[in-house]
Amino acid sequence: MIVFSESGWEIERETYAEELFQKLQKLINGEDFSFVTELKDRNRGMILLLIEKVENTGNSGFIPLLKAWQQIECKKVRAVLQDEIDQLKNTI
């Protein structure tokens, strides 16, 4: 097990969220969103950062992926994902 210091985790969280974001970007044109199961039970701060990265794109193509992700998440993350879906719908 790797244990990060507070500042070390801030750096790693950003790096890891960016790597996951790149994977999500590759998925939006397809129909297989099974990768989102790997996001379940991850660090909440990193997941929120990942969702923020999706938000910053303004790309409504993420909506089907976010809906698939929403199906497997806990209540709090589902709510954040729904907010994101609603915001992306407004960009259409």
Question: What confidence score (pLDDT) does residue 2 get?
Answer: 80
Asked whether residue 72 is domain-assigned, the answer is yes
Asked whether residue 50 is domain-assigned, the answer is yes
Asked whether residue 66 is domain-assigned, the answer is yes
- What total number of domains does the chain contain? 1
Question: What confidence score (pLDDT) does residue 76 get?
Answer: 95
Asked whether residue 52 is domain-assigned, the answer is yes
* Confidence (pTM): 0.91
Asked whether residue 1 is domain-assigned, the answer is no
| Regions in the chain scoring below 70 on pLDDT | 92
In sequence order, the 6+-apart residues with CB closer than 8 A to the CB of 81 are 51, 66, 69, 70, 73
Domain of 15 in residue numbering reads as 6-90
